[in-house]
Structure 1
């Protein structure tokens, strides 16, 4: 039996249409938003607008707030301090609410084709890779890269 698959996608420098196109092209059924704050200055990527656009495309939306990066982790990511991001995010994943959310995500990804969404375009530099390694270690990863819209 082959390993289950989890997809990831970042929307940095992408348009909403290119993100939805990449998700549909991969056959993703559920977008798991793993941002602590599902807000964005980029048009269409705040929680309500994103959920609505995904619904129109036939993709479900679930927000996993507890799996997002806390403020100090986001600051470390912006400073390109990956070691600090790893340390801070590891602490986040030890919280009871993150453990429960991780179990929900794991169960969902066993049943549906799920993609993890965050802002950072490069998956290796994003907490979504740390999340996948910690909570979905048996899943094969496919990092989607939507076409740049900037």
Structure 2
């Protein structure tokens, strides 16, 4: 169905996550690719293809051999690839992306829930209005929450459009002290302490969006890791 990630897209996302995780683990141990291949008893060419994301579905025996080389369980290694590990926030703007590209990037980042901080979850961009977006996310195994209380009111949008973002952020920050925003923030940060949550709005550049205030609070006040969708 249009707007939903295919099985191939899901497998590609898992392959990317596994490749990133293997490279991280290898770097932490100071191993070359040849050293890891030797320790795992697999061919350097096989490992090269996995790390280069040329294969999205390595065999079970290969994954088990890699897990054994790193002295971790297969479950731990596979959890990273399936996106069942980690917590924190991903700052996510959908500007310039198709819904398919957007969902695939969420999967790569291990996102489990999207927190929509648009005041009104409607978009002229195909796939990003609430119903279609929820359908695409559900198909990918990602949850959706619309946190209307964390939306930026219309009267505070011109500063972000006119190069006065600092002014707009200051106004929005003051609004977060008013009910029901504190409750919505608690909901968001409690969830992000348990799993990876994408904070969604339109602008790809966080500096031009009110969500930067939310992400900065997550970092400074709650010690949550915050990454960009890229």
TM-score (norm 1): 0.89
Inter-partner Cα distance in structure 2 for 1:122 and 1:66: 22
Indicate the residue corresponding to 1:20 in structure 2.
103
Tell me, yes or no, if structure 1 residue 130 matches structure 2 residue 210.
Answer: no
| Native 8 Å contact 1:102 1:135 kept in 2 | no
Tell me, yes or no, if structure 1 residue 143 matches structure 2 residue 228.
Answer: yes
Could you say what secondary structure the match of 2:157 adopts?
helix
> CA RMSD for the aligned pairs?
1.6
Deviation, structure 1 residue 74 = 1.8
Tell me, yes or no, if structure 1 residue 73 matches structure 2 residue 117.
Answer: no
| Native 8 Å contact 1:38 1:47 kept in 2 | yes
TM-score (norm 2): 0.59
Inter-partner Cα distance in structure 2 for 1:107 and 1:75: 31
Could you say what secondary structure the match of 2:152 adopts?
coil
Deviation, structure 1 residue 125 = 2.2
* Pairs within 5 Å for 1:1-150: 5-137=88-220, 138-145=223-230
More displaced, 109-118 or 124-133? 124-133
Give the greater-gyration-radius structure (CA): 2
Inter-partner Cα distance in structure 2 for 1:49 and 1:92: 29
Q: Are residues 136 and 106 of structure 1, via their aligned partners in 2, closer, same or farther at CA, if it must alter by over 3 Å?
A: farther
Deviation, structure 1 residue 135 = 4.6
- Unaligned stretches of 5+ residues in structure 2: 1-86
Structure with a larger share of its residues in strand? 1
- Unaligned stretches of 5+ residues in structure 1: 146-150
User: Deviating runs (4+, > 3 A) in structure 1?
Assistant: none
Structure with a larger share of its residues in helix? 2
| Native 8 Å contact 1:72 1:88 kept in 2 | no
Deviation, structure 1 residue 117 = 0.5
